[in-house]
Amino acid sequence: MDELAIEVKNVTKNFKLYYDKPSTLKERLVFWNKKKADVHVVLENVSLNIKKGESVALIGVNGSGKSTLLKLMTKIIYPNAGKIVTHGKLTSLLELGAGFHPDFTGRENIYFNAAIFGLTKAEIDKRLEEIIAFSELGEFIDSPVRTYSSGMYMRLAFSVAINVDAEILLIDEILAVGDQHFQDKCFQKLKDLKESGKTIVIVSHSLDAVRKLCNRAIWIHEGKIKMDGDTSVFDEYIKVCG
């Protein structure tokens, strides 16, 4: 299994949805053990392998389970059944600014965020100027990140994540934020990382963009894998879902 980056084995993930939540103290006392709950199955018995160096797009309509699968790969959440095994250092871009402290500056948050990814202070020192330059934040790098726009958050998050020498990158719709110039810059950087042998798994509704980046597409429909193959999967998906 040395050639595998990610193994997904018979994974099922469900969430409980509660209804009739008591609104008054009396209702809470009387009905404390009578909450109704439905189990919503998001992923059902999903299995797949992703090889090292592959660039894979997870596609599907909203609610199909693709973002949940990506979160399971990062171990933000865990499956109810089955298991996921990753081989290699992993970085994720799932939620903009996750791990950022709003009251600290962009520069300070680079240190915090990169440390979460496993870099030492000395390693961050060496990469600091490169991270700042790529983010194009300029004078704003020493402003609190609570003053940043969503686009500025994205620039900082992306700039840190691509500079931690991860072998696996997991990305969820991050290229949809920011101006066209920076989107193009991020896309080119991902192409460079792909050519250097990194493993990339990306969730996106921008099919034209991911089609240029990915050599494999996995179509997830209602929590199951509907198709898994080369870029022809995009054509089949467009025929059905437009």
* pLDDT, block means (10 residues), the chain with 242 residues: 90 81 60 65 96 96 93 92 95 74 95 89 95 94 93 87 90 72 87 94 87 94 95 91 75
pLDDT at 195: 94
Q: Which of 237-240's residues contact partners 24+ apart within 8 Å by CB, and which partners?
A: 237/59, 237/60, 237/207, 238/207
Give the chain's count of helices (H) and strands (E): 8, 9
Domain that holds residue 50: 4-241
Torsions phi, psi for 224 (to 5 deg): -130, 160
CATH of the domain at 205: 3.40.50.300
> What pLDDT score was predicted for residue 51?
96
Render pLDDT for 141-198 as a digit per residue (tens, 0 to 9): 999 999 998 888 888 988 998 888 899 999 987 666 567 888 888 889 999 999 999 9
Q: What 3-state class would DSSP assign to 85? A: strand
Q: How far is CA 157 from CA 11, 66, 193, 239, in A?
A: 29, 21, 16, 35
pLDDT of residue 23: 58
pLDDT at 191: 92
Report helix, strand or coil for 191.
helix
Work out how many domains the chain is built from and give that number: 1
